[in-house]
A and B are shown apart, each in its own frame.
Chain A
């Protein structure tokens, strides 16, 4: 999978490259708008990560021109502009997703995975990790032989962790995807932490630890060490 990163800020570009390479993506960096436009036009990419405020040519201009030329590569806009108007404009010009800086790397990766998954329906009814099994239809969760008694929220939380198993999940992602809150706030962070502690007690009561807290980043569900 090839990903083009159009980003003029060198450090951010480096971080993006490092993060994407750990996920085994093939990453190309374009440090200017001109370069980005040229490459996106001439080469084949599976996805473009696009900054908006670029020297030379703005990210939105690049996006617009690409779409006019029927280049349909998925585009993820990454920018510090967080106004509703900015988001609407970006999405209207043909962006597939929009992420505001400063972003959490796990969230960026999750969104990239989601964009790359798109168009390939993979309806799952059953999620598994080690001896943990969750049936999405009957909404039953079983660890080994033990049926877990989960509240609705705990079940959703576990489902989300399982869907992203092996990958880091940030509090922002949980707030938005599980709690459906558009904005993260301190009270909600506390709620997430409490809820996660409870879920962990039920899931990891016996057997190996599956749910891990990664300090300062979020949570991950995986076998073995985080």
Chain B
């Protein structure tokens, strides 16, 4: 069984095909044989019937006299080894015995009856077919029995059987071979796909399988595999970029700490200088700690081990809280918030996690908008969603960066990375926080050049009720 399962699809397909074909042919051959046999018997019986009528017509007899054959010689049974004729008087006295009848046992004349009937008998090792009946010959009622040997018939049947028995396996073998070739031909493209797919490894992920006809079965399979390759390639690329970025972000503070330490130890300095050096090192440690914490949180998120306490959260209220908490940052840059918050935008979310998302998006807007600009924040209900949009007057996000801006460490402007104080993870955290709460985050451009970040979350089912109650 195990070996069967291990065999290739081609072999298994051929096996099943041959088995089904063989079975069908056996049934077909049996039916044919039975039909042929029946037909032969009927022919034989017809011949016997002819013989009987001939005997009835060509026999002559006088009352109490002998019986004689007066018909054409070729219809006479005399000397024929395969045919025979017996004639009895109604009283049971044998009047004539012609041809092969020599070998046959006498019939029970009393039982002959008036209706002619067929009977198969075995005599002298041969099988005979007989027709026995009563006939009027020359005004005399006689019992006639015509007989023919079944040997010829059986010989013909044996030939048919031989043909069937030897032909059938041959047909099955030939059909199996054909099936095998067909299966191989049909499965060959799959083999090619597998070989080609094996060739495309991590280093050659940009290559794709060639799909000549994308609409047939093989083509669809190829398209699916290509699709998987594309996704694999993009996640490999993402991972590669992340690893490079992470090592850069992690190593820079380490290099700074090390450098400050080495320079500080280089020669004797004043206590104030040492304090300065140590403080500077601690700042870097702080940055590093922050970074590691954030990365760990994101990786817990990836591993799906973060437990959320989802409760109904008023997105509008949460947004107001965040804005008031970050207001000092905007004030510091002479920025103004334009808040437009609708009621009833209640979503089911983990309050703290969602708050992080909103905080990071609003902070991002503050960071990238110029001094004196206005940040427009809107919370609305849209059908079954609650939507938060944060529109800034910053430089905006080019369309080609709109997917990647939520990637970890992705920065639009490499230059301003460290000094703007961010870790490059704020929007990645925001995306993660929105995703785990079942929402979506996206960025679009504004006609005026800024960016619009948009967070949508499904409205909590219970919010309709709470609205009514309040």
Contact = CB atoms under 8 A, between A and B. Distances in A.
Interface of A: 84, 102, 179, 182-191, 194-195, 198, 214-217
B285 A216 contact: yes
Nearest to B363: A187
Contacts of B273: none
Interface string B322-363: 000110110010000000000000000000100010011011
Contacts of A216: 278-286
Given A102-B289, A194-B332, A187 B279 contact: no
Contact of A183 (B276, B289, B356, B363): B356
A15 B199 CA distance: 56
Contacts of B47: none
Given A182-B352, A215-B280, A216-B279, A191 B285 contact: no
Interface of B: 275-276, 278-286, 289-290, 293-294, 307, 325-326, 328-329, 332, 352, 356, 359-360, 362-363, 421-423, 426, 429
A194 to B, nearest CB: 5
B356 A217 contact: no
Given A191-B325, A191-B329, A216-B281, A183 B352 contact: yes
Contacts of B426: 186-187
A102 B363 CA distance: 26
A217 B353 CA distance: 27
A214 B284 CA distance: 14
Given A191-B326, A215-B276, A184 B290 contact: yes
A186 B423 contact: yes
Contacts, number: 60
Nearest to B422: A186
B427 to A, nearest CB: 12
A128 B422 CA distance: 37
B205 to A, nearest CB: 35
A214 B332 CA distance: 22
B277 to A, nearest CB: 10
Nearest to B294: A185
Given A84-B307, A198-B328, A216-B279, 11 more contacts: A102-B285, A187-B362, A187-B426, A188-B359, A191-B328, A194-B328, A194-B329, A215-B275, A216-B278, A216-B280, A216-B285
A214 to B, nearest CB: 7
Contact of A195 (B276, B328, B359): B328
A202 B175 CA distance: 99
Sort A-B residue pairs by CB-CB distance and give the 3 closest, nearest first. Answer: A216-B282, A215-B279, A187-B363
A179 B325 contact: yes
Contacts of B352: 182-183
Contacts of B293: 184
A195 B324 CA distance: 13
Nearest to A187: B363
17 contacts: A185-B359, A185-B429, A186-B423, A187-B362, A188-B325, A194-B332, A214-B279, A215-B275, A215-B276, A215-B279, A215-B280, A215-B282, A216-B280, A216-B282, A216-B284, A216-B285, A216-B286
B326 A187 contact: yes
B282 A187 contact: no
A190 B356 contact: no
Contacts of B422: 186
Contacts of A194: 328-329, 332
B305 to A, nearest CB: 8
B229 to A, nearest CB: 37
Contacts of B307: 84
B289 A215 contact: no
A89 to B, nearest CB: 15
A190 B327 CA distance: 11
Contacts of A188: 325, 359
B278 A185 contact: no
B425 to A, nearest CB: 9
A145 B284 CA distance: 41
A190 B421 contact: yes
A127 B345 CA distance: 43
B439 to A, nearest CB: 19
Contacts of B289: 102
